[in-house]
Structure 1
Amino acid sequence: MVVHNPNNWHWVDKNCISWARQYFEEKTAGVKSAPNDSKSVEITSLSSLEGDCEVSQRKGKVISLFDLKVVLMMKGNVDDEDFEGSITIPEIAFDSERDDYQFEISIYKETGKSSKARPLIKEEILPQLRDIFSKFGPELLQAHANDIQVPSSQVASEFTKGNLQQPQTSGSVSPAPTVSKALPKSNENVKTSSASGSSNAPLYNTTTLHLEPTFNVPAIELYQTFLDKQRVQAWSRSPLISEGSKSSIEKGDEFTLFGGNVTSKLVECDLGKRLVFEWRLNEWRKGHSSVLAMEFHESKEYHETKLQVTWSGVPVGEEDKVKGNFMDYYVRSIKLTFGFGAVL
């Protein structure tokens, strides 16, 4: 990467969020507990990564600035009963210490038996994840520091040349991971003052959100609450505008909610198990839609359904707005309207 920064004096940023996403995909997938005849747990994939991740330099000094929320998917078994779930890490930050990381463990369709996996997750999986997260900062700098500086041979200033040291980090720095070579350069650019005018450029940089609200209702009832038009109009407190006179939304149907502020289309449905919608705010640029995928996990033993929401294609900068609106105007409103759970 070519950087025009005489004497490495000016502030230069490199966006490394795509690199971070692939880093955690590669490092966390396959993390598992020790072999055990009765219990096992394994991380299967990265569900979502939100936040900011940059490497910056000024006056020869290189630093990393990142604040990330990570959601990992897992699977396992207890006494031949299989389960799936997720582990959410609300904050992985540049100034976090190894023991600072907090973990939210969620087991889908949880039973008394599958809940016995929680101690195993805490004792064997979380320490491995702490190790991975604590190495992220040093390896981020190792992989990207050289991209935002000119070589020391081109630096005349003794002041900045004196700062051209390997970035100081806590702990040892391992060799740069190979993930940095696999990423398209267009996703990780040094910030400049001019934007590309290419007509082929995406309408937005996007991210993926992961939510897991819980409802005290069978999965099939919650499933129908998103499709039955009378129910939708009740919890949305607005007319549902769509073509046709059917009482329920069907695959391929497009409709609007909240006074026309939201346009949605049902693109996939699996009775009582899964719904997928194309979803857009009408204030978004024309032609851009996100994908709202919902999976319904019912725990008959605990009389509740966990709604696993994976929301991809959300424009960067709109995450809090989209998440807040969904929790207020969908989740909270459904609970208040039909009594499907406590409202905080």
Structure 2
Amino acid sequence: MAKWGEGDPRWIVEERPDATNVNNWHWTEKNACGWSKEKLRELLIDLKIENDIAKCNIKEVEKLEGEAVANNRKGKLIFFYEWDIILKWSGKLEGGEKEAEGSINIPNLSEENDVSEVELVTMSKSSPEADKLKEFLMKEGRDIIREQLNKYVVALKEEFSQGMILPKKDEVKSNNDTVASLSAGFNKQVHMNNTDKNDVKGCKINTTTLEFTEKFQCTGEEFYNAMTVIEMVQAFTHGPVKLEPKKDGKFELFGGNVHGSFIELIPSTKIVQHWRFKRWPAEHYSTVTFKIEQKDDHTEVKVVQTSVPQSEADSTKENWDRYYWEAMKRTFGFGSFFV
């Protein structure tokens, strides 16, 4: 029991002003199935196994069944993965004309087995060429395939899990050089596309609407937090942030180059903002609506931005991609994938 006046550190909200997963104490889980399937296919398809005796190629992943999740418990990451994989291969003996085909079964890729212990069972229709290629794969291909499987495990633990342990208040540091660099990027791109100088209040501005959809490997709540929790916004923008996540609350990012206010906030579901670039015509704001829809193993965000100055449309879309989506995926491991 804690001494009077000391308190239990699990409940000291001052460590994180937003009180989100204080001290990373709560159990959080992140589904890694979709990301894992994409990563394993990327590492295994078209893999070449060859020497001066034979040449083989992994043509496709015929079977990929199992699951993978990453958990954060008291600031410690715990991983669970279990995959049953069948690969299709084809190959020829050096100087031979006949091609043989077969499959490689990997039935036990899991956290319970070291990658060096993962079994590979090679099967093919029997023929002189196929039998020699099968022997070749078991001897020469085993370590190459295990190396690719190890790359998956390393990526799961280092790449996919980024952002699962949230920074504490004292871990988010101000980096003025980075902010200056990012601010320059915003200003430079906007200026390059700014063909109209309608900086006087009352001038007519030609505007357009931007619409796009982004996919994130996270929950709807995690994306919502990345847009509304000050430490998380500081993390992906790499600098000081002003943020009041409430109706009519103000926000200011990238050294003031992006600023505005919140119109509507529905946790894990919807965010609506008045939003503008500093270099847009004076007092001209766009309206940005984020509709957040959580799927089985990812979150889809539909973005509609109205009243964007026509001359700034291309640069605005570029900046969303570069300074928001790509930065969030790098920082928190929300990497996109195809479904």
Q: What TM bracket, shorter-length normalisation? A: 0.3 to 0.5
Structure showing greater Rg: 2
Which structure carries more helix by proportion?
Answer: 2
